[in-house]
Structure 1
């Protein structure tokens, strides 16, 4: 009888533990560098959080911290999620120069044509070539901004000669190298600072994705915009990632892990691409309605830019080779994946 009672107590204890595990709830601290009104939060991050909450019947919730509300600067977001200050971050690996060198292949000049195909390419490239450098994280998404246009306050850029001498905000290391190769003077600064910098004449404009135009009010301080013709690749792009603290993920019950997995990876990447394409179209329409000028580079201008930026790719390939990697193969893989429709 005593043995049976002990067994019943053990069984009851195990049942209680199983119930507690099943009922476990978690609130994810989600941080990023843009304002709360940005499409990144309103149209991707918040809907993602809402989907997790609904699918888990309230057991997964999010607290979103836009505009670096957890402190620090955008380059520190990677360390914030690694160290558990945030549970999830959306950021650009390129903000941490030299830390994620392989994924930079997608940021080489004239690789990415648009956000949709570019984001699918970025995820495929990550899976095939760049997983090792993200080992410390649970990777939820890898996508691109679709390519960066040139936005200027006073000069209508129609070719390389118009870029010469201009001080333009650049998002990261590869964009800065590309801009310098085109004759410009790159200036590093977060998106939140570039509109004021342009309005005060600190810089002449910015190299940035169309998605940034509305949330940063870039259209209010830029009269001129320049980009390749539709279907042609952009001079530069930014790779973006959504990363989760590995320990936070590993500590979750299996059913909550499964929910996060189901709403991450390819479906989340595709959603980023879709939203970025919509925002690009809306931003172009908005600047046109303000009477701003959008110039599309001619074939001759485009070819001249490609020739001028070829050394940027050559230098990157050499840097990869110096690390014991096949830089040429990585660059070729990025271009091949980005060209697929």
Structure 2
């Protein structure tokens, strides 16, 4: 009889323990507006989430949504509304909202995705708490894409003056301003509409990294690509938790997130964009696309033409009460420390 009682008590204890164990697993939804096979999802967000899940022994799990709840510009507001717990997006999709955070978007700031991503995060880590641009969210990472090229369906851009009068598809506010300053007419369109726009003559070309040209199926209409040494521009991407979702995590879970975020996300971005561009350029080369590099003289001329953007950013920083010169100097110093073309083999 005592044996039966013991078995019954043991079974009752086991059943009572099931809900408690289930409560020990926290699942966070990640809002996503890109296809699951895009490199941002498969090469940055997914491995980041998996590393945290492993670090926490499965007590913190992530579900990446497969259907967007809204267009790219709506992602930060959706995050604030707690439509999902974690999100990512492009700062430039919300013109004027993340001005200080977008310091790396300025012309010729980011020579490669390693330097741009690292400098973007380190600068935000040093100054970002003062900005107040992400209130209601807890930013865990910033990153930048790889160097964009001027990809032409009609005409060739051998020199800077060849851009004059051309209609160029752009993705964000800073990019549009850059194209305007260089004499082109920017048109903002979703990347999914770019090929159709160029096929119909609505746009002559598009600013995009090589990876994105191939991913969005734009390769067939591209005839020539002009590289701009030094990095004409980049876009700053954010990765963040809703503040309430972040606060709901245990200390151990937050520590695990922080361990794999920040520079961890920046380095994942460096790998993802570098590998993506290698693949994209191979596909473009197979399609017979001509690659052109802008001359040093034209690069210098472009830098001169685009100086007003930096001047205006500094004025905006001052108006907001920030030392823009100090922020710029720090960002540039971090770029130099993390740029991918640094020589590390010293021969004496």
Please give the TM-score of this superposition, normalised by the length of structure 1.
Answer: 0.87
Most deviating of 22-31 and 213-222: 22-31
Q: How does 1:1-341 map to 2 (within 5 A)?
A: 20=20, 23-66=23-66, 69-132=67-130, 133-229=133-229, 233-341=230-338
Report the secondary structure of 1:225's partner residue. Answer: strand
Superposed CA RMSD in Å reads 2.1
Contact in 2 for aligned 1:121/1:334 (Cα 8 Å): yes
Runs of 5+ in structure 2 lacking a partner? 1-15, 339-348
Post-superposition Cα deviations, 1:179-199, rounded to whole Å, max 9, x if no partner, equal 111111111223333233223
* Unaligned ranges ≥5, structure 1: 1-15
Q: Tell me how many residue pairs correspond in the alignment.
A: 320
* Residues 236-259 of structure 1: CA deviation (Å, up to 9, x unaligned): 111111111111111122332222
Rounded Cα–Cα distance in structure 2 between residues aligned with 1:319 and 1:194? 32
Deviation track 1:75-111 (CA, whole Å, cap 9, x = no partner) reads 1100111111021112111111111111121111111
Are the structure 2 counterparts of residues 55 and 332 from structure 1 closer, same or farther at C-alpha, using a change threshold of 3 Å?
Answer: closer
Checking the alignment, whether the CA contact within 8 Å between 1:102 and 1:129 is kept in structure 2 is no
**CA gap 1:70/1:102 in 2 versus in 1, 3 angstroms:** same
Measure how far apart 1:22 and its partner are: 8.7
Aligned-partner SS, 1:62: strand
- The 1:216–1:259 alpha-carbon spacing in structure 2 relative to 1, beyond 3 Å, is same
Question: Does the 8 A contact of 1:147 with 1:234 survive in 2?
Answer: yes
CA–CA separation in structure 1 for the residues paired with 2:26 and 2:190: 31
